[in-house]
Amino acid sequence: MNLRQLEILRAIVRYNTTVAAGHALGLSQPAVSNALKVMEEQVGFALFQRVNNRIFPTPETKILLADAESIFETHKRLESRIKDIRDNKAGQLRLIATPPVGYGVLARAIREMQIRRPRVRTFFDTRRYEEVLESIETHQAELGFILGFAERPGLCSEVLYEGEMVCVMLPEHPLAAYEVITPHDLQQHRLIALEKETKLGAALHQAYDQKNIELSFVAEVRYGLTACVLADQGVGVAVVDPLTASSAGQFKLVQRRFSPSIPVAASAVWAENRSLTRLARTFLGEMRRLLNQKAGSDIQAV
């Protein structure tokens, strides 16, 4: 006996007549009667007693339906899960990012997703550039977000944001009075530098080389957020990416343009041989929206 037959059987018991059961199920009375006949032939015993043109469920039918209730509940949950998945209200997201993206806009995107889709479970981690790409290639994460992505076989990408690195410092710092800060200006002050082995650190060293100025620092760190922590404590001035600078709202720091310009691009990456789920595409759209807002605020600030 299949699920449709059980539905018909339950409807007949609930509504007492084949006419009412057919109306509830969108079937004709003859179709319900025929289905009942087929069911009785299949089970090999009577499912209803006929008395004065009325039918009453047999004890065996009541036993069957009692056992079938768990099937109906499971089916109901399955239909609800299908609807949730179709509407992106449930499921799993596996995300990974480098810290500049992960500690700012991506965290806000997760919050927005959870507000609208509270049954979505998110697995999120921050890693170094190469580790992010490796996690995508090995399918440990579905979506990755990084700065400075270079094309790589087997990976698809989309540039979500383009900006320029900025200087951050305490409001009372002498350089806060400048609109644009150069390596020459920074020579007179303590610099918190990014490690030369990182992409952004290498870009900063190139900017100094372009001006034939030696990069001298009082502290060297791997991540821009670490540089912001030190700058907030008055250790010095840092040159960081704009996403990190914007996400450092818990600090008292101010931002100033840096010249020569150091372009920064944030990209989403995913495996070429794995289609993005509907939920991942929705999250990618949320990241696109937030980063478009960030780009718009950058233009207004110039």
Q: State residue 229's pLDDT score.
A: 95
d(CA 188, CA 198): 25
Q: Which domain holds residue 228?
A: 166-261
Last residue of a domain, one of 86, 106, 140: 86
CATH number of the domain that residue 194 is part of: 3.40.190.10
Answer yes or no: are the C-beta atoms of 46 and 40 closer than 8 Å.
Answer: yes
Bridge partners (DSSP) of residue 157 are 269
SS3 breakdown of the chain: % helix, strand, coil, rounded to 5? 50, 25, 30
283 lies in the same domain as 136: yes
Instruction: Give the count of domains, the chain.
Output: 3
Predicted local distance difference test score (pLDDT) of residue 170: 96
pLDDT at 84 over 60: no
> pLDDT digits over 44-69, tens only?
888 888 777 678 888 888 888 887 88
Asked whether residue 7 falls in the same domain as residue 47, the answer is: yes
For 270, other C-beta atoms within 10 Å of its C-beta total 21
Residue 55 makes CB contacts below 8 A (sequence gap 6+) with 12, 16, 17, 18, 48, 49
| Claim to verify: residue 70 and residue 108 sit in the same structural domain | no
Is the pLDDT reported for residue 268 higher than 90? yes
Q: Which of 45, 64, 86 is the last residue of a domain?
A: 86
Do you find a cis peptide bond into 171, omega within 30 degrees of 0? no
Torsion of CA 34, 40, 41, 45, to 10 degrees: -160
Indicate if 191 and 244 belong to the same structural domain. Answer: yes
Question: Is residue 76 predicted with pLDDT exceeding 90?
Answer: no
Q: Which amino acid is at 281?
A: R
How many helical (H) and strand (E) elements, i.e. helices and strands, does the chain have?
12, 13
Same domain, 42 and 116: no
Residues 39 and 18 both lie in one domain: yes
pLDDT of residue 162: 94
> Could you tell me which of 55, 114, 117, 52 has the C-alpha nearest to residue 88?
117
d(CA 141, CA 271): 9
Residue 297: predicted pLDDT: 74
Q: Tell me, yes or no, whether 173 and 238 share the same domain.
A: yes
80 shares a domain with 106? no
Boundary (domain end) residue, out of 66, 86, 106: 86
Closest CA to 215 of 229, 204, 228, 226: 204
Residues 176 and 249 in one domain: yes
- What's the average model confidence in pLDDT over 109-115? 91
* CATH number of the domain bearing residue 24: 1.10.10.10
Least confident segment among 36-40, 185-189, 234-238: 36-40
Percentage of the residues of the chain whose pLDDT score is greater than 70: 94
- Whether 300 shows a pLDDT value over 60: the answer reads no
pLDDT for position 86: 64
* pLDDT, tens digit (0-9, with 9 covering 90-100), for 21-31: 888 888 888 88
DSSP state of 64: H
User: What is the rounded average pLDDT for all residues in the chain?
Assistant: 88
